């Protein structure tokens, strides 16, 4: 089981969003209060670092993004999330996240593993 499976198990119909190709899900520096799991499609996260260098990451179906919003008060988004194609997303707010961690403690481990894997992939990709 992975973080998206847990999100899917806890999701209500109202928490599943459809977005069209090109739609902006959130922008860099927006306040963040929820994370997302990609059920279908792909989402591009793009950013500019403090040195003015631009980067991006493509989040495919089966993965999650935006988790920082759930663990940091006053969180501001670090990247812009845009649907690369038509997508279906699960949105999880902080209350649902805390419930998930309480009811399924392995969810926190699954989420950390997902974030760690993405960071490792980004580091490897940026070194090529």
What are the residue boundaries of the structural domains of the chain, listed by start? 3-119
pTM of the model: 0.83
Q: What is the pLDDT of residue 126?
A: 55
Instruction: Give me the half-sphere count of Cα atoms (radius 13 Å) on the Cβ side of residue 126.
Output: 11
Residue 35: which of 93, 100, 102, 119 has the closest Cα? 93
Give the confidence band of 1 by pLDDT, cuts at 50, 70, 90: low
Checking if the pLDDT of 124 tops 60, the result is: no
pLDDT at site 123: 58
Residue with token string 């999650």? 64
User: Is domain 3-119 in CATH 3.40.50.10800, yes or no?
Assistant: no
28-58 tens-digit pLDDT: 999 999 999 999 999 999 999 888 889 999 9
């Amino acid at each position: 089981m992975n973080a998206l499976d847990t999100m899917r198990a806890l999701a209500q119909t109202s928490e599943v969003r459809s977005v069209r190709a090109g739609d902006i899900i959130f922008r860099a520096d927006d306040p963040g209060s929820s994370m997302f799991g990609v059920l279908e499609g792909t989402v591009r996260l793009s950013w500019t670092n403090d040195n003015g260098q631009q980067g991006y990451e493509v989040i495919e179906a089966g993965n999650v993004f935006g988790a920082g919003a759930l663990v940091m008060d006053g969180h501001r988004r670090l990247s812009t999330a845009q649907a690369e194609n038509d997508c279906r997303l699960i949105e999880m707010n902080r209350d649902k996240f805390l419930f998930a961690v309480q009811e399924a403690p392995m969810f926190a481990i699954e989420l950390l593993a997902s974030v760690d894997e993405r960071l490792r992939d980004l580091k490897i990709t940026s070194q090529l």
